[in-house]
Amino acid sequence: MRTTTAPETVAELIARQWGDHRPGLKHEDGLLTHHRTAQEAAARAALLVDLMPPGAEPHLGVLLDNTPEFPFWLGAAALAGAAVAGINPTRRGPELARDILHTDCRILITERAHLPLLRGLDLPGVRVLVTGTEEYEALLAPYAAAKPGEAALRAPAPDSRLLLYFTSGSTGAPKAAICTQGRLAAAGSALARQFTVTPDDVHYVCMPLFHGNAVIADWLPALVGGAAVALRRRFSASAFLDDVRAYGATYFTYVGRAIQYLLATEPRPDDRTHTLRLGFGTEAGAVDAARFAERFGVRLVEGYGATEGGASVQRTPDTPPGALGRAGAGDDLAVIDPETGTECPPALLAPDGRLLNGSAAIGELVNRGRSLFEGYWRNPDAEADRTRDGWYWTGDLFFRDAAGFLYFAGRTDDRLRVDSENLAAAVIENILARWTDAAAVAVYAVPDEVAGDQVMAALALREGAVFSPEAFAAFLSHQPDLGTKMAPRYVRIVGAMPTTATNKVHRVSLRRAGFRCEDPVWHRSPAGAYTPLDPPTLTTLLATYKAQGRLNLLAR
């Protein structure tokens, strides 16, 4: 790893690329040097300075696949003292417009492929730049000779905002977590040290750059260590190994079910013929991590650290299977019962790893010590909820064994994490409530059989209505703001919605029962059709949970 002084800003990391003519950015259309990538970032920084309206917050939205333009604009924002809001292309309609406007983006960078998402949206005061067009190239041309440090809206500093990354919570609408240049530079440096990143490495970025994982855990440590970055426009399990070989990739990151998708590909005799040495991410699961290492000869390192920076869990060599590790340096992590505010007792684990006292041991992970949380953009209520009582509440469920190792157990209340995407139940409930046959709707998480969560909905029907799986699937297909991860995997038809003494939906009882209940439950196939979750199907499903070591999570 190249070492001079520790970088204090991401702008400094971009400037360090100037004059470095080694391979820096590999993509489907060619190869750029580190110097060229810095040059492209500097040109966009100068353009940004001229386009940003006077007095506006220096924020730009980036609605792109993993094309070279994405890291160019990340670098441009760093050099210009601006901030990038990563816009999620799985969002739809008013919810997509809300993300752009909430973060005060006055400029939106997109590409032709995503223009249909913007049709009909009311985006007052937002200038849209479409990459790859003649107009876009003409705008950039006068700035081709710009150099890092020549143009800035605000002088880059460690406390300069650089990223506004959306995360969902119990309040419904996604919250934009603030990430400063100083914290991001430090995170990149820490990972570069942990994984000994050198200029000989090639970091394969196949997770979406609008998500914190790809930027913080993949792009940034490559910048620090002088490694090349190889971009995949969108994740493809079938193209993964071909890309790795073509780019000479040595490192990649993953989230959610990506590892399961890779394991589902047809085995090949050359599965171990590649340059990869390491994968780093979250939610692979101990079973699949072992299978991945056996098949591909690549070690997976599981980690935990929210984009907000409020808590981190670090893996150590003695971390047992299924655990993520212990508290990160400086953190004072505890598993807290949110009802009582007291620490949960240690988990009792059977010899096969099953959790025996889940109802008592599972609680919310809380950081009672130092927190790097930098707040949410224009959301003081969410900030106050996250930091109540002087502690940082992660919103994630964990349990802790007697030796202090932490195990991830899901999301709190109506938070869901589906295939690496954080969702809020209230948003999905508002969409399902449009279905004319529904008298009441509740949405909640059930554990996925491999990693993260799946969406489950309980529906109480209007008098005289009969549930039609075909009509319900058709209704979902016509909802413009139903994101690609939001359609319920399981639908439970209840005679009456269970409620608490205060007439709130009794979500605890719904989650506790999951899809193993006396009410009719319908199961969604990958094609989108709903079929009854009959006993044979349920038996097969539970066998999958058992094989993945997650059966115990269904009984919490």
Render pLDDT for 160-203 as a digit per residue (tens, 0 to 9): 999 999 885 444 578 999 999 999 999 999 999 999 999 999 99
Confidence of residue 2 (pLDDT cuts 50, 70, 90): low
CATH code reported for the domain at 10-180: 3.40.50.980
Please determine, for residue 354, whether its predicted confidence score (pLDDT) is greater than 70.
Answer: no
Please determine, for residue 375, whether its predicted confidence score (pLDDT) is greater than 90.
Answer: yes
Sole residue written with tokens 């719904």 = 510
How many Å apart are CA 46 and CA 167, to the nearest integer? 30
Asked if 515 contacts 446 with a C-beta cutoff of 8 angstroms, the reply is yes
In 282-381, at which residue ranges do the beta strands (DSSP E only) sit?
299-302, 304-305, 312-314, 326-327, 333-337, 342-343, 363-367
Confidence of residue 315 (pLDDT cuts 50, 70, 90): confident
Where is pLDDT greater, at 44 or 211?
Answer: 44
Closest CA relative to residue 161, chosen from 400, 338, 375: 375
Average pLDDT over residues 338-353: 86
Lowest mean pLDDT among 6-20, 87-101, 425-439: 425-439
pLDDT score recorded for residue 381: 93
CATH 3.30.300.30 in the chain, residues? 417-555
Alpha helix (H) ranges present in 387-435? Answer: 425-432
Lowest mean pLDDT among 154-158, 348-352, 518-522: 348-352
At residue 509, φ and ψ (nearest 5 deg) are: -70, -35
How many Å apart are CA 191 and CA 283, to the nearest integer? 18
256-300 residue pLDDT tens: 678 878 987 889 999 999 999 999 998 777 778 888 999 999 999
Q: Whole-model pTM?
A: 0.81
pLDDT score recorded for residue 172: 59
Please determine, for residue 346, whether its predicted confidence score (pLDDT) is greater than 70.
Answer: yes
How many Å apart are CA 33 and CA 39, to the nearest integer? 10
Please determine, for residue 503, whether its predicted confidence score (pLDDT) is greater than 60.
Answer: no
pLDDT score recorded for residue 252: 98
pLDDT score recorded for residue 499: 72
CATH 3.40.50.980 in the chain, residues? 10-180
Residue type, 320: P
Where is pLDDT greater, at 504 or 188?
Answer: 188
How many Å apart are CA 313 and CA 329, to the nearest integer? 9
CATH 2.30.38.10 in the chain, residues? 332-411
Residues forming beta bridges with residue 110, ordered by sequence position: 63, 130
**Secondary structure class of 71 (helix, strand, coil):** helix
Topology of domain 332-411, per CATH?
Luciferase; domain 3 (2.30.38)
Average pLDDT over residues 397-407: 91
pLDDT score recorded for residue 258: 84
Residues forming beta bridges with residue 27, ordered by sequence position: 30
Residues forming beta bridges with residue 107, ordered by sequence position: 60, 127
29-61 residue pLDDT tens: 999 999 999 999 999 999 999 999 999 999 999
89-104 residue pLDDT tens: 988 899 999 999 999 9
**For 417-555, which CATH superfamily applies?**
ANL, C-terminal domain (3.30.300.30)
pLDDT score recorded for residue 171: 43
Please determine, for residue 538, whether its predicted confidence score (pLDDT) is greater than 50.
Answer: yes
For the chain, the average pLDDT equals 90
Lowest mean pLDDT among 232-246, 340-354, 435-449: 340-354
Confidence of residue 247 (pLDDT cuts 50, 70, 90): very high
